[in-house]
Structure 1
């Protein structure tokens, strides 16, 4: 393949028509700018659960059996805190808060419910409206109120809304939840247009908090999907507002040191800006929503862009230092660098596109956008920046702008050059020892990394309960917002979660009027897994249509007789005439409760099993699947624990699958590309050695720092390959060029000193630039930043310490004389490939 003609075409346009190239790139930039306005956002955990069976079942459960106090899309929770929320004054405060919302047309209130309303109706059954309930409680004595509270001590609709510390004797509790249902007319929605992760209740619930805060003298917090969605979105903007300026300042400072020239600095910054505009413009034009994971894309583009920019300018300066003119120096530089950039781009794109194997849509979207962004970065820094550099340098003398330095980073004889050559010295003396040590270290790190945990929770996407003091101290507009969602969630978990643990829901699909339907539900609870809480009869503690029938039979002798007549085996579970049983149950006071466990069309049902507080999410999920398999109808375990565990499993699977794909595809790509370009396929294997060390080191660091695979860090291993290969490709490609002209060690030394300086500048800039993600409000984003920065540092160190020894061993295997230049001129690479690539023909001339 005659690849050189493509390089020559690019060289010709860069050197001879730089103005045309600049104009063409600016026009494309304008096109992508039009797409910026179409960028939408998507946030929250729901985006990760698409097409997961447990999540689909959970959605159907919510649609068919949603309890009155669940935070569904049409409900707002009012969380009240007080030394005793069941006192007369506190109960009145809850009812008045609900009335304040009901009286406002913009709240679209269709109904309310609360412990306060239950107590008022207990005192006066005719008190059906909020106004009547408030009047009833105002006229009641504290003693009457306490008695009404005690009468509801066994009422699930009452006890389900008060905290775990409810005391029947004292008629007291420290917290309660009231509910306000909304009936939203068409067209009412929240958030900005295109924010698919927002809730239609966001503006309503935000306003509700202001109304209650202004009108009610009580500690009542508004909570719901709108509040959570608002913080999902806010934490993204707050993180970007903090991270972006910090990254810009750090990167700008490092670029000043790397370029040491004002015009070169401006060209580098403009190119970085163009890469971002192209990428996010593509996001809008392609209709791909921006999610939390994509917060890392700007730093990633900066990482690769800075690397390309520094290498392009540094290599150009090296050639200028030999006495070449502007055009000739740039042609020599791009002739070598375009090939290196292409290899880096190919391997980096492979690393990102490996995420397409993930079953999680946000990770797939991240892979696509990151890969496209890297291609854009290659075009901008491989063609536009060199063309702009040529255009500027030809006019530099006529402009009143000072030139500070045009010397390359890292020169022979300099202190930096000596430091960068440490790996060459080891390679010259004991390359085998170093390579064996690197392989043993990598194996040990990989083995240690098998203990890395996997996690997925709603809190990963929400700001922390306590924002670090450093961030709070930032001046406006950089200071983050006040966040309440996580604190409220933790409060609810603490106050309203049963001490027995959590729960698993089994969603059943089948004809529930079938004579054996209820018996199947009853028998499934026999001899349950140890993760399930049991009653005294070694049966799983559960709630279902069966338990509701039993409870109703215990209260209503007539209904009990009906059940008994249709119970063949006298176990309290009817086996015949189920349609009649259901009709009688639905017509009774237990009808509302029954509707939460049996669908209106009687073609589905749910069973809720209580799980042990000591069981892990993985154990609970496995137990749920075990019990679901006992049903002869289609049964799906679901619930938040099961759904999040399913996503967590997919995250781990994505990380391993993406790593395997990225590694194998990168090996194939490098072997093929070095065969085509150099006639040396085995060079692709040598190129991979430092990446193996870097990936193993990153994985081991995750366990050492107790950082799990989560929605953000799931991409880190394939990302390490994508970014880390950058460093080794530059070294290898420069080495081959140098090796054709000189002996092994001199070629290696010149490679490391010349390329190592650019690599050092790139590493420092990108590692710190991405490392500023640790300042993000989202802690998981900070973890991602730390790991990405460390992966860059590891890749840099491995390229300068491990790769030289690898290349020495490789050279000894394919060349006869390490002292003489290698006998492969670049123009004969194709003939070399045809004759078999590696082997004796690769010996020095």
Structure 2
């Protein structure tokens, strides 16, 4: 034994001796720390905007925010809006128009909603009937006084306004004056810094009609969406955690077979969650949808540690060894394995801190810190607590309900788990090569997995899952409408739904050639932007505002003509005069949307091909921006979401590589120092690489993309899965050091420690798999993939590790295998 090995062994023995000899002091100390963390839990904040953390600090998002600020009067109040979606057989009947106007009237009467104005078919028809009607109450009176024939006539007349048909569904019939859906945009006059969440009361206004309930009118806007995001977090936890607890009770009952031992394990799991949530509160990390996965991950690792410590302790007590020396033996043997598992889990979970996306970084930090807490609580607190409770049981004569380990060499499970040792002994080279070929093939296939980022990933599906209707109160989720509304808008307003991107162009727009330079690239745009006549771009800019005003104002048209030397309708001299006249006209407010006050910046909005892929649109937008004579940058939601998708993929690959490299280096160094056998570190990594290759292949086969949460699955799979290989290797080394025989050591290891791993795998995979019951798709997919990852890691450790250990013994020690 080297000097370093002696020091490490002495340190671990001192810690274990303190835990065993001063167990009461250890228990009190941990409980006091728990009280401190309980205080931190009250400071935990919930993040309801699911996408904000992903897009913050992105250059494209900053460009979009700069554009919004540039084309906004800083002295004016902010504007917030809410869409009212009205659905029915015919929303243009007198009764349905009145229903919408009653909603607007009640919205106007609620001061907290800061109603400013509304624009929709009902208001346009009402003002067609009575041009002097301004308030919702006056508009309602105008419609109440009108006959059905007058209403139909007003609808036909209102159709002359292009905005009218744009606010009606695609099935609008001008002749019959009917449509199945409409949109009314309510504008709220709010102060700067006003939170859009406060406008979610519009839906309450609709719901408060009571017996005077209108047709199907629903509110839709930022406040409504954020409200549902917040409710989804609470409802998902309310559904998932009870299921997790029920599964834990069932499988921990199988693993422990003793209610008192099971209670000790559950209590330690509770403290783990308290410590982790207390840390979130003290650190200021907000709790969002991504972090719902953290308590489930910690339960997974905690279960593993708890089962191992109790199972190993029982292996000694069934031999007749007293409690204290039995716990001393168990702790001494497991502490190194626990530390190795914890460090590798920290590498796996914590590797996500390299991400450029804040929510993924937060998930990495929270889970890594939580794993350290898990080590302390299950590696020190639980053994001390177990000893004290067993002393009390002996003192009061409380019987043990189950004190044998999960499996042994004589049990059916033990014999089944040891089969891989027999097979691996016969042809280890063939097994290892076959596994490498299969793993390499699956990894190559899985490299083509898709990457996505979309608001709808965080929202519940329109159709509730079958099990939701069976969930009793108070766990039953609320009613969600946002996804249904989004789908309704896409289905019924398809003709009016245009996807756009924005290019912000910077330069001196008073130069004679400025407007010509602004439009020149649009004659030959990339394919996804070539949606206009003749393959040109369909744009809205300061140029189109000038063209519109030219058609509406003869005097302005003459001014443009005099300053259009090329004769193409775009002025190319005296632009400062053109802008002055334009800004002073009725089109002035619209011109301010597309040209900055200092006339050194302009934005151009491009309609894009709705059938094009997000990645194609983003690439074409960036390419088109480079074609401008002035400096330009493309932005907009499509481009920002594409950038996030790319970062998600980069984060997944970077975290995976970092986790594998750090884990491999750590294991090689650890086994070199502890055992003088560095190649055991490489052997340990082999099964988890096979498992991750199988996982990524499974994702592609099942068409499950890398998204805001599943992007972390690869590195987290390393962190969770390596534990199975480490525990088997640690037990194998202990047995091998005693008897020097690889086969016999593997037989004992797989039947003993393998039994504990089986119990851990079942509880972990089913516990984490409960996330599949979460309301949102992103959490459901994550839960399924975590459960799959755990199972594949267990399978790889049982199947792939034995032949790899036989090869290690052959080439490292010159053993004969056969």
TM-score range for the pair, normalised by the shorter chain length? over 0.9
Could you list the runs of 4 or more consecutive aligned residues of structure 1 that deviate by over 6 angstroms after TM superposition?
Answer: none
Partner residue, 1:672:
669
Is contact 2:595–2:601 with CA below 8 Å preserved after alignment?
yes
Is contact 1:267–1:385 with CA below 8 Å preserved after alignment?
yes
Q: Deviations over 1:702-729 (max 9, x none)?
A: 0121111011101000011000000000
Higher alpha-carbon deviation: 253-262 or 123-132: 123-132
2:105 is aligned, of 89, 96, 99, to 99
What secondary structure, in the 3-state scheme, does the structure 2 residue paired with 1:200 have? helix
Partner residue, 1:488:
485
Is contact 1:127–1:133 with CA below 8 Å preserved after alignment?
yes
1:312 equivalenced with 2:323 (yes/no)? no
Partner residue, 2:37:
32
Q: Deviations over 1:186-238 (max 9, x none)?
A: 8975xxxxxxxxx4325523433324566553332111111111110111111
2: CA distance, partners of 1:332 / 1:75: 67
What secondary structure, in the 3-state scheme, does the structure 2 residue paired with 1:697 have? helix
What secondary structure, in the 3-state scheme, does the structure 2 residue paired with 1:534 have? coil
Structure 1 position 421, deviation (Å): 0.2
Partner residue, 1:271:
268
Structure 1 position 540, deviation (Å): 0.9
What secondary structure, in the 3-state scheme, does the structure 2 residue paired with 1:178 have? strand
Partner residue, 1:166:
172
Count of residue pairs brought into register by the alignment: 806
| TM-score scaled by length of structure 2 | 0.94
1:618 equivalenced with 2:615 (yes/no)? yes
Structure 1 position 521, deviation (Å): 2.1
1:16 equivalenced with 2:21 (yes/no)? yes
Mapping of 1:322-721 within 5 angstroms?
A: 322-498=319-495, 502-721=499-718
Partner residue, 2:8:
3
Mapping of 1:776-815 within 5 angstroms?
A: 776-815=774-813
Is contact 2:490–2:497 with CA below 8 Å preserved after alignment?
no
Structure 1 position 140, deviation (Å): 4.5
RMSD (CA atoms) = 2.2
Q: Deviations over 1:585-644 (max 9, x none)?
A: 233333343343334554433222122232111111111111111223332222222221
Is contact 2:531–2:609 with CA below 8 Å preserved after alignment?
no
Partner residue, 1:766:
764
What secondary structure, in the 3-state scheme, does the structure 2 residue paired with 1:563 have? helix
Partner residue, 2:285:
288
1:753 equivalenced with 2:751 (yes/no)? yes
Is contact 2:458–2:777 with CA below 8 Å preserved after alignment?
no
Higher alpha-carbon deviation: 619-628 or 508-517: 508-517
Structure 1 position 20, deviation (Å): 0.6
Distance change >3 Å, CA 530–CA 129, structure 1 → 2 = same
Distance change >3 Å, CA 119–CA 548, structure 1 → 2 = farther
Distance change >3 Å, CA 344–CA 437, structure 1 → 2 = same
Distance change >3 Å, CA 124–CA 395, structure 1 → 2 = closer
Higher alpha-carbon deviation: 382-391 or 133-142: 133-142
What secondary structure, in the 3-state scheme, does the structure 2 residue paired with 1:220 have? strand
Is contact 1:311–1:758 with CA below 8 Å preserved after alignment?
yes
Distance change >3 Å, CA 146–CA 600, structure 1 → 2 = farther
Distance change >3 Å, CA 341–CA 783, structure 1 → 2 = same
Is contact 2:240–2:771 with CA below 8 Å preserved after alignment?
yes
1: CA distance, partners of 2:592 / 2:96: 31
Distance change >3 Å, CA 525–CA 152, structure 1 → 2 = farther
Is contact 2:89–2:179 with CA below 8 Å preserved after alignment?
yes
Structure 1 position 773, deviation (Å): 1.1
1: CA distance, partners of 2:709 / 2:535: 42
Structure 1 position 408, deviation (Å): 1.0
What secondary structure, in the 3-state scheme, does the structure 2 residue paired with 1:394 have? helix
Gaps of 5+ in 2: none
1: CA distance, partners of 2:492 / 2:627: 34
Is contact 2:524–2:530 with CA below 8 Å preserved after alignment?
no
What secondary structure, in the 3-state scheme, does the structure 2 residue paired with 1:442 have? helix
1: CA distance, partners of 2:32 / 2:131: 74
